[in-house]
Amino acid sequence: MRIRFGCEMGYEFAYPTPLIARLTSHPDCRGTLVVPDDLRTDADVPLQAFLDPFGNRCARLVAPAGFLTLTVESLMEEDGARDPVVAQANQHAVEELPPETLPFLVASRYCESDLLSDEAWRLFGDTPAGWARVQAVCDWVHDHIAFGYDYSRVDRTATDALAVGRGVCRDYAHLSVAFCRALNIPTRYCTGYLSFIGEPEPHPPGDFAAWIEVYLGGAWHTFDPRNNAPRQGRILVARGRDAADVPLTHTFGPNRLTLFRVWAEEV
């Protein structure tokens, strides 16, 4: 299967403004790039590529005053399989976890697992440890959060999402991350492109998606509490502790978003 994916993001800046972008595929993405997905701009500015502490591909630049458009457009080849389901994957005792997983056990800015510990154990403490427990978390979050683009709020945390019962995909992910970490399951926040390949129409407009990865049975596994079903055409862009670690664009000054277009489709 070949997937054409990419985005256009336009901004207006009042004055030259530093910017970091995470819009290209992650080095661990399971597909193979047929066409490089390097970031392009419509301004003659130098780009510096680097990897952040979580291994995400980033580009930094100084946006000039005025209008600037960031563009990624590429083609990826992958096997077309849906997200794997490994129902037998076991949960590790904390003392047996690899050291590199431990940062994904603790509370972070948007995922207050410490504050949600009692609630997590009340809701899920009697579920079988391992894959079934994570699935129970995703089922509960999927059923208790109402989705709507109008519900988006950049400062909403996991505890906020639980309280108001609504949000967008990042809120589903944050609440699931917080619950899983409270249950001693290392969990990462992920963002990327997600196609509608194999999904019934009508399809909503293209957008970036958020999901989670949990460490079970000696490996990281994908769960998607927003859609709550294995999907095709998932292209990882970045992962971290929560959305604060992986903003798609991080601008160091005021700006206005003037253009937003995202696509991921089979060709």
pLDDT, tens digit, 9 for 90 and up, residues 194-219: 999 999 988 888 999 999 999 999 99
Retrieve residue 167's tokens. 């949000």
113 lies in the same domain as 235: yes
Q: Within a domain: residue 87?
A: no
Q: Is residue 234 part of a domain?
A: yes
Claim to verify: residue 106 and residue 174 sit in the same structural domain? yes
- Look-up of token digits 């059923």: 143
> How large is the C-alpha radius of gyration of the chain?
19
Strand extents, DSSP E, the chain: 2-13, 17-21, 32-35, 40-41, 48-51, 57-63, 66-77, 146-147, 166-167, 187-194, 208-216, 219-223, 234-240, 249-251, 255-266
Q: Is residue 88 part of a domain?
A: no
For residue 56, the domain's CATH number is 2.60.40.2250
Q: Which domain holds residue 53?
A: 2-79+248-266
Cα(239)–Cα(190) distance, integer angstroms: 4
| Residues 6 or more apart whose Cβ sits within 8 Å of residue 68 | 10, 11, 12, 13, 41, 42, 43
In a domain, 86, yes or no: no
Rounded to whole angstroms, the Cα distance separating 63 from 199 reads: 38
Number of domains observed in the structure of the chain: 2
pLDDT, residue 205, reads 87
Mean pLDDT of all residues belonging to the chain: 96
Q: Are residues 262 and 188 in the same domain?
A: no
Residues 171 and 152 in one domain: yes
Half-sphere exposure of 11 (CA within 13 A, CB side): 25
Would the pLDDT of 133 be above 90? yes
Same domain, 260 and 182: no
What's the pLDDT at 204? 87
The answer to whether position 89 is within a domain reads no
Q: 131-144 vs 117-124: helix axis angle to the nearest 10?
A: 110
Going by pLDDT thresholds of 50, 70 and 90, the confidence category of residue 37 is very high
Say what the pLDDT of residue 203 is: 87
Give yes or no: residues 158 and 222 share one domain. yes
Q: Is residue 102 part of a domain?
A: yes
151/189 same-domain check: yes
C-alpha to C-alpha distance for 37 and 122, rounded to whole angstroms: 45
Specify the amino acid at residue 145: I
What is the rounded CA–CA span in Å between residue 198 and residue 80?
A: 10
Q: Which residue has the tokens 């196609």?
A: 195
Do 16 and 42 belong together in one domain? yes
Render pLDDT for 39-77 as a digit per residue (tens, 0 to 9): 999 999 999 999 999 999 999 999 999 999 999 999 999
For residue 25, give both structure tokens.
Answer: 């595929």
Is there a single domain that holds both residue 174 and residue 212? yes
Provide mean pLDDT across the span 223-246: 96
Kindly tell me if the per-residue pLDDT of 101 is higher than 90.
yes
Residue 131's contacts (CB-CB under 8 Å, 6 or more residues apart) are 85, 86, 87, 88, 89, 216, 217, 221
Q: Classify the C-alpha dihedral 197-199-200-206 as positive or negative.
A: negative
